Amino acid sequence: RCLLTKARRRANVIAETYCHMLSLSDDDFHQALDGRPLMKKAMEELVREQQSKQSVAVPD
């Protein structure tokens, strides 16, 4: 799920080099953003931009 919108998401990612997989719970994510309103606003704007790119008008 998207941590900001709670929308279901699915993505496939393949690392090009060795990497560590990290996980962040919903509660921890929102707790981290509570003291960072500018970061939260920037992330919300990125989500809106991505959603508008994915929205496609369907002709009548």
Is 59 domain-assigned? no
Is 16 domain-assigned? yes
In the prediction, which pLDDT does 51 show? Answer: 82
In the prediction, which pLDDT does 55 show? Answer: 66
Which pair of tokens denotes residue 4? 């900001």
Is 31 domain-assigned? yes
Which residue in 4, 14, 12 sits closest to 41, CA to CA? 4
Range of the domain at 34: 1-53
Total domains in the fold of the chain: 1
Is 8 domain-assigned? yes
Q: DSSP assignment, residue 35?
A: T
In the prediction, which pLDDT does 60 show? Answer: 53
* pLDDT averages per 10-residue partition of the chain, 60 residues: 79 91 90 93 90 66
**Within 1-57, where are the H helices?**
26-34, 37-54
Is 12 domain-assigned? yes
Is 58 domain-assigned? no
- Residues making up the chain, counted from first to last: 60
